[in-house]
């Protein structure tokens, strides 16, 4: 049920500076608490570390290798965006290192770009999911169409991402109830801009979702994600030790709770990727402009993850 993305989406919250000790400590906890899946890597996925998007402290090879030392029963997953990750350099390496689940992600209207990656992994008999990001920016019908394509390529599950944290529970219900007609596993990934990540995740479960993305203390991009510790109490799952989860939250200072700030309300309103926050604030400081005005202008350009350089171009044009 719960896929723990603390070591991947949470990477955004610390500018992708995950250390060996953080990975070791969290993986030991995940095993101890009985978590089903842990995801690891740069916030934008393997192959994404760069000066433009943000440089990881550790390489993908190092992060995966460290995690595999401590994960025995808990499966390891990675996030992959075609164009940032390649088959030869990134996917084959991840396969050789023993990654269990590959989640191939794209903007919610661009499923066709995942075809090569999903088909390749499917041909290797690997567990591969399709991930549709920024799902608040298109209709339910479009999401169904794009999810259908991913299924046809070989995806065994589809994850719907509320990357801008702008969904309401009714929105989530409509989407999940529509996508479960595909007869494959459907998952939901929430962000907490409007403090609705938990409500939206519960709505997803009620509507038939079988995978819910979570992080410890909601640690993640922007306003953060759906907190594992809250979900563990509101919707208990067999084999998960909620007492171990609470002990970890109380005794570990590695991951601090993500909080909702004013900027997150504006990024949600304009349906922008939560991971843009750091770049927006840097650009505003550099060019001495208001983040409100910059967000309004960015929203007109429909930019997606991987196009962070355009934030600075737009900011400069506002001087």
Active site residues: 12
Spell out the residues 6+ positions from residue 50 whose beta carbon is closer than 8 angstroms to its own: none
Tokens of residue 113, six digits: 């770009």
Output DSSP code: residue 168.
Answer: -
- What whole-number distance in Å separates Cα of residue 60 and Cα of residue 37? 18
Spell out the residues 6+ positions from residue 152 whose beta carbon is closer than 8 angstroms to its own: none
Spell out the residues 6+ positions from residue 311 whose beta carbon is closer than 8 angstroms to its own: 276, 279, 280, 283, 294, 298, 303
For residues 62 and 95, the answer to whether their CB atoms sit within 8 Å is: no
Spell out the residues 6+ positions from residue 125 whose beta carbon is closer than 8 angstroms to its own: none
- What whole-number distance in Å separates Cα of residue 199 and Cα of residue 169? 6
Tracing tokens 């989640």 back to the chain, one arrives at 103
Length in residues, the chain? 319
For residues 135 and 146, the answer to whether their CB atoms sit within 8 Å is: no
CA atoms within 13 A on the CB side of 211: 25
- What whole-number distance in Å separates Cα of residue 194 and Cα of residue 198? 10
Exposure string (b/e) for 75-112, b if CB count within 10 Å is 16 or more?
Answer: bbbbbbbbebbeeeebbebbeebebbbbbbbbbbbebe
């Amino acid at each position: 049920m719960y896929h723990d993305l603390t070591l991947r989406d949470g990477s955004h919250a610390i500018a992708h500076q995950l250390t060996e000790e953080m990975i070791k400590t969290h993986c030991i906890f995940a095993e101890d608490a009985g978590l089903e899946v842990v995801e690891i890597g740069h916030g934008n996925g393997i192959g994404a570390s760069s000066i433009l998007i943000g440089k990881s402290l550790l390489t993908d090879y190092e992060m995966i290798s460290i995690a595999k030392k401590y994960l025995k029963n808990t499966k390891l997953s990675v996030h992959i965006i075609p164009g940032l990750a390649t088959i030869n350099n990134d996917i084959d390496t991840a396969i050789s290192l023993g990654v269990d689940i590959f989640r191939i992600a794209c903007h919610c209207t661009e499923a066709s770009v995942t075809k090569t990656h999903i088909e390749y992994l499917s041909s290797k008999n690997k567990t591969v999911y399709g991930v549709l990001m920024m799902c608040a920016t298109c209709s339910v019908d479009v999401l169904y169409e794009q999810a259908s394509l991913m299924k046809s390529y070989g995806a065994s599950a589809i994850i719907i991402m509320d990357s801008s944290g702008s969904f309401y529970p009714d929105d989530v219900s409509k989407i999940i109830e529509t996508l479960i007609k595909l007869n494959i596993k459907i998952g939901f990934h929430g962000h907490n801009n409007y403090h609705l990540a938990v409500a939206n995740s519960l709505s997803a479960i009620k509507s038939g979702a079988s995978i819910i993305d979570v992080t410890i203390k909601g640690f993640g991009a922007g306003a953060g994600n759906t907190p594992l510790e809250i979900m563990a109490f509101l919707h208990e799952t067999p084999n998960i030790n909620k007492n171990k989860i609470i002990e970890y939250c109380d005794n570990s200072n590695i991951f601090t709770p993500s909080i909702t700030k004013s900027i997150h309300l504006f990024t949600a309103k304009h349906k922008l990727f939560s991971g843009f926050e750091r770049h927006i604030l840097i650009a505003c400081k550099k060019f001495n402009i208001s983040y409100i005005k910059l967000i309004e202008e960015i929203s007109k350009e429909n930019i997606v993850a991987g196009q962070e350089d355009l934030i600075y171009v737009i900011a400069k044009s506002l001087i």
